[in-house]
């Protein structure tokens, strides 16, 4: 039997979020052509591990690397680097494929030191602006330019991201860079949907006459929940009783967002409690996100910056219109004015206006939802993503 080339995939963390939800299914399907080993780091305190993915995709060789953490720690970063090098010594790997900033830095440095034939990195987002001050952002750009020189192939997940990596920030030349969109694995995305959907709706007392609007993701600064609150306030000023907002996720700023809501006299429910007439409900993390999206009417996103937001792609697979700020790769994830609305960053008035338009027009929600399913199915196929990654690996290895 022909031996399969060994592939080491390194991701920052195995948590509920776009990176793990995309990469674990990808790794599982790659096993048809390669022998795959996945490393992942330690989660943050406000995150929830997506261990359910390992049940959905059984038999995948997975190893946790506790030293690999999002926060900067010289001792832990050195320890993680040494452990990755040790793993590379134990087996002969044809490809090391890293995802995200920290794993991308340590993994690529280790792979380069161990002379791995093909080093691949996927930018799921980027830290070049909006996250840190100008000095730190400039330092990250310089580091990524160096890492780009020791990387054989770089994957971007949207056309805009490709232009930023190969053009605006000159991280790597276009000859090294490929654009491969994220893919949704429909085979598992809609599993047990009807029963779980009913359970979620009952838990949070969804009423069919209400309009349910959700925002999905970590409650952190980059997601701009201040804009979310401002928009919600404007919408609720007109629809105080039949519109409900849901925050699906958690994060360090959850308490701060709730304080703002309290000051604005907007009622809310925290995770684990249920207030009958709450205008905003915090659900915390939901592993089966399709079951949540299916009971929503609209999905929104208010971020300062994004790579390719998985929540908007998932919403469209579920036939839901989206309203989102025009930042990062957001505009590449849906059709403006056909499957949702694209909003100038910070424009709370226009954001609220578009939400109200959807609230008041059921046929518009239905038409946009139908177009959304078609668009998402055509552009975000897991089968297409897997095939393109296999082609990229083979192209890289044939040039060794």
Q: Residues 361-386: pLDDT tens digits?
A: 999 999 999 999 999 999 999 999 99
353 lies in which domain range?
Answer: 191-379
User: Does 244 lie in the same domain as 126?
Assistant: no
Q: CB-based contacts of 211: which residues, under 8 Å, 6+ apart? A: 239, 242, 243, 244, 297, 298, 359
User: Does 178 lie in the same domain as 288?
Assistant: no
User: Does 163 lie in the same domain as 66?
Assistant: yes
CATH of the domain at 297: 3.40.50.2000
User: Does 171 lie in the same domain as 204?
Assistant: no
User: Does 371 lie in the same domain as 250?
Assistant: yes
Considering the chain, what is the average pLDDT of its residues?
92
Q: Which of 367, 355, 375 is nearest to 313 (CA)?
A: 375
* 342 assigned to some structural domain: yes
Using CA atoms, how far apart are residues 102 and 3, in angstroms rounded to an integer?
31
Tokens of 71: 């926060």
User: Does 364 lie in the same domain as 224?
Assistant: yes
Sign of CA dihedral 350, 354, 355, 359: positive
pLDDT digits (tens, 9 = 90+) for 28-85: 999 999 999 999 999 988 888 889 899 999 999 999 999 999 888 899 999 999 999 9
User: Does 336 lie in the same domain as 204?
Assistant: yes
Report the domain count for the chain.
2
CA distances from 294 to 12, 15, 268, 332, 369 (A): 29, 22, 22, 22, 11
User: Does 267 lie in the same domain as 245?
Assistant: yes
Task: Inform me whether the pLDDT recorded for 309 exceeds 50.
Answer: yes
User: Does 197 lie in the same domain as 179?
Assistant: no
Q: What is residue 129's predicted lDDT score, i.e. its pLDDT?
A: 65
* 1 assigned to some structural domain: no
Q: Residues 287, 21: contact at Cβ < 8 Å?
A: no
Tokens of 204: 């949070």
Using CA atoms, how far apart are residues 31 and 147, in angstroms rounded to an integer?
27
User: Does 242 lie in the same domain as 137?
Assistant: no
Task: Inform me whether the pLDDT recorded for 197 exceeds 70.
Answer: no
């Amino acid at each position: 039997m022909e031996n399969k080339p060994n592939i080491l995939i390194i991701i920052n963390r195995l948590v509920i979020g776009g990176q793990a939800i995309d990469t674990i299914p990808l790794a599982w399907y790659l096993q048809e052509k390669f022998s795959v080993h996945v490393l992942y780091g330690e989660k943050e305190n406000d995150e929830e591990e997506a261990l359910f993915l390992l049940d959905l995709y059984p038999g995948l060789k997975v190893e946790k690397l506790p030293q690999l953490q999002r926060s900067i720690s010289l001792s832990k970063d050195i320890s993680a680097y040494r452990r990755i090098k040790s793993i590379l010594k134990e087996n002969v790997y044809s490809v090391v494929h890293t995802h995200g900033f920290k794993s991308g830095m340590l993994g690529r440095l280790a792979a380069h030191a161990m002379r791995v034939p093909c080093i691949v990195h996927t930018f799921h987002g980027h830290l070049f602006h909006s996250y840190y001050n100008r000095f730190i952002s400039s330092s990250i750009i310089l580091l990524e330019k160096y890492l780009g020189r020791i990387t054989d192939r770089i994957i971007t997940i949207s056309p805009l991201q490709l232009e930023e990596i190969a053009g605006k920030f000159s991280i790597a030349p276009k000859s090294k860079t490929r654009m491969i969109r994220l893919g949704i694995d429909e085979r598992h995305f809609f599993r047990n949907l009807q029963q779980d959907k009913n359970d979620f709706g009952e838990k949070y007392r969804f009423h069919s006459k209400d309009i349910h609007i959700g925002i999905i993701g970590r409650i952190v600064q980059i997601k701009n929940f201040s804009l979310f609150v401002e928009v919600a306030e404007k919408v609720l000023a007109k629809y105080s009783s039949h519109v409900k907002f849901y925050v699906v996720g958690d994060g360090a700023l959850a308490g701060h967002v709730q304080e703002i809501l309290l000051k604005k006299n907007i009622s809310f429910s925290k995770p684990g409690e249920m207030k009958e007439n709450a205008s905003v409900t915090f659900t915390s993390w939901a592993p089966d996100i399709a079951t949540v999206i299916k009971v929503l009417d609209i999905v929104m996103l208010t971020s300062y910056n994004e790579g390719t937001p998985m929540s908007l792609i998932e919403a469209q697979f579920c036939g839901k219109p989206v309203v989102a700020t025009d930042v990062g790769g957001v505009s590449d994830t849906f059709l403006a004015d056909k499957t949702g609305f694209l909003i100038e960053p910070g424009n709370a008035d226009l954001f609220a206006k578009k939400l109200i338009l959807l609230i008041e027009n059921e046929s518009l929600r239905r038409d946009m939802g139908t177009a959304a399913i078609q668009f998402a199915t055509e552009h975000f196929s897991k089968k297409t993503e897997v095939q393109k990654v296999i082609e990229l690996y083979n192209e890289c290895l044939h040039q060794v």
